[in-house]
Chains A and B, each alone.
Chain A
Amino acid sequence: MAAVLDATPFNFVAIVLCISFGAGLLGSLLGLGGGLILIPVLTLVLKVDIRYAVGASIVSVIATSSGAAAAYVRDGLANMRVAMFLEVATVAGAVTGAMLAGMVGGRALYFLFGAVMAYSALAMLRKLREDDRPRKEPPPDALADRLGLHGSYYDVSTGGEVAYRVHRPLVGLGLMYIAGTVSGLLGIGSGALKVPAMDLAMGLPIKVSTATSNFMIGVTAAASAGIYFARGDIDPFIAGPVCVGVTLGAFAGSRYLTKLKSGSLRMLFIAVLLWVSYEMLSKGIHG
């Protein structure tokens, strides 16, 4: 692998730290993981080999997810039973994905990454239009009853406990296997796939889906990170500064800045995401 610039090791680490900080900050503002932003910058700008970029990203995904989950779990927003049930599928998927990553070539990774990125951008666009739509009570589900997946959370805006019911746990399990595979292949948390699986397919409230997705991402990422480590794809010289930078950035973002609500700014980011996904796709096609 080669780093582009004729930089000294110190400069390289400093640049990676700054970029990772920015990716973590932006990620927490947009509600995306840092990986989706970080990997294109590392590969397209710094010319880091995509395998090392993925290896570095996957560890930072664990860091941000665990940090965020610590708060969500304390506030009782993450549904730990749903999370544990679905983790069976995401972890199995992550193992599949990380094994596949060792077999498919770099170009296929670029292509898939571009596709997932475009999908995430479009998913954000959809969320922009239909936030907080009213939801109806899902039909009763025997398996969800048996597993005791239903729950409740404290809603800050209304100041009351909101109870919710879960259905179609097996559909969720299937979708989570796919999300886990993508996560293992690309070194991203793939929250953009996990949230709809819970929110749309299983009927969990969007806040609970987001919190639970964050809670699960760490375990999914740990499964693939183990495989990447053993394969030697986690280079401390890149993964170290990435991990520190992304975590500090995400922390600063969640602490000092409120989530971006402004529609036009979000539209701008969606446009940037689509453009980057086009770059990644074309790198996948033309090599």
Chain B
Amino acid sequence: MSPEPAEPPSPRETAAATTTAVTEEVVPLTPELLISQLLRGGVLLSLSLVTCGMVMTFFRHPDYFSSPDALQRLTSPDSAPHRLPDVFEGVMAVRGQSFVMAGLLVMITVPVLRVALSLGIFRAQKDRTFAAITTSVLALLLLAFLLGGVE
């Protein structure tokens, strides 16, 4: 059996006692729920950024609707920003493709944040072994990002 997290004395009941008129159930913030919310929020944020970026791109370049040549240029290997400062600069300049890229980067970061959040939870539960396991996963993830940059 996995150990249950120490919960404060039934927040659900105290909440129900105080909020009689509110129909919405007040759910206690368990680690599971916290992680679930993080995943959902991150995916939604990322998708909105990507969608905005795509709309912006076509807004700024009306010729993308008519010119086939533009596609060759756009999909050539060096057209896309693939360094963090480049992406940031592009976002500041309100460039559509950089917004798309920023959205994709948010998506890539979501699982990393999930691991970081799990680390916090395991530490709060004083679970030494799993805090160590989670730290090594986090370290490997960071190593992956560093290794990619070196290449």
A102 lies within 8 A of B151 (CB):
yes
B16 contacts partner chain A, Cβ-Cβ < 8 Å: no
**CA separation between A9 and B100, bound complex, in Å?**
15
Within 8 Å CB of A69, what residues of B? 36, 39
Counting residue pairs across A and B whose Cβ atoms lie within 8 Å, the total is: 212
A84 lies within 8 A of B130 (CB):
yes
Can you pick out 12 interface pairs between chain A and chain B where the beta carbons lie within 8 Å of each other?
A1-B75, A2-B72, A67-B40, A70-B37, A91-B137, A91-B144, A228-B148, A236-B98, A236-B104, A237-B80, A240-B103, A244-B51
A229 contacts partner chain B, Cβ-Cβ < 8 Å: yes
B75 lies within 8 A of A224 (CB):
no
Question: Among B39, B75, B77, B145, which residue has its beta carbon within 8 angstroms of that of A232?
Answer: B77
Return the 4 tightest CB-CB contacts between A and B, nearest first. Answer: A230-B148, A227-B148, A236-B100, A232-B82
**CA separation between A80 and B136, bound complex, in Å?**
16
A237 lies within 8 A of B75 (CB):
yes
A12 contacts partner chain B, Cβ-Cβ < 8 Å: yes
A234 lies within 8 A of B147 (CB):
no
A70 lies within 8 A of B39 (CB):
yes
Q: Which of B6-14, B18-26, B61-69 contacts A (4 or more CB under 8 A)?
A: B61-69
B124 contacts partner chain A, Cβ-Cβ < 8 Å: no
Within 8 Å CB of B78, what residues of A? 232
Within 8 Å CB of A63, what residues of B? 43, 46-47, 107
Residues of B100-151 at the interface with A, using a CB-CB cut-off of 8 Å, are 100-101, 103-105, 107-112, 114-115, 118, 129-130, 133-134, 136-137, 140-141, 143-145, 147-149, 151
Q: How many residues of B contact A (CB 8 A)?
A: 69
**CA separation between A152 and B134, bound complex, in Å?**
22
Closest CB in chain A relative to B136 CB, distance in Å? 6
Within 8 Å CB of B111, what residues of A? 62, 66, 218-219, 221-222
A243 lies within 8 A of B82 (CB):
no
Closest CB in chain A relative to B126 CB, distance in Å? 13
**CA separation between A287 and B110, bound complex, in Å?**
37
Within 8 Å CB of B103, what residues of A? 240, 243
B141 lies within 8 A of A226 (CB):
yes
Residues of B54-105 at the interface with A, using a CB-CB cut-off of 8 Å, are 54, 58, 61, 64-68, 70-72, 74-80, 82-83, 97-98, 100-101, 103-105
